[in-house]
Amino acid sequence: IQGWEVMPLGSEGYRTAEVTLGGVDTAGPNSRTMEAKAVDGLYFTGEVVDVTGWLGGYNFQWAWSSGWAAGTAIAERSG
């Protein structure tokens, strides 16, 4: 990620914004713990992962559920 630049060309503004697209490929983290398969102790949750749902709370639910999975895994790991 170092040295990577994103140059947005524009947007429709906050009036129409709903969710973001892109992010960490879903193959990257363990689906049970959200821990990165390639880096021990690194976790990805919410919109940082390339998961985009329809409107109606799906994206909130993904954020809460992936956060819970990662938090639970970290707590278990910490003893």
DSSP 1-54: -TT----------TTT-------B-TTSB-TTT-BBSSSTT-B--GGGBS--PP
All structural domains of the chain with their residue ranges: 1-79
Q: What pLDDT, in 10s, does the model give residues 8-50? A: 888 888 788 777 788 999 999 999 999 999 999 999 999 999 9
Model pTM greater than 0.85? no
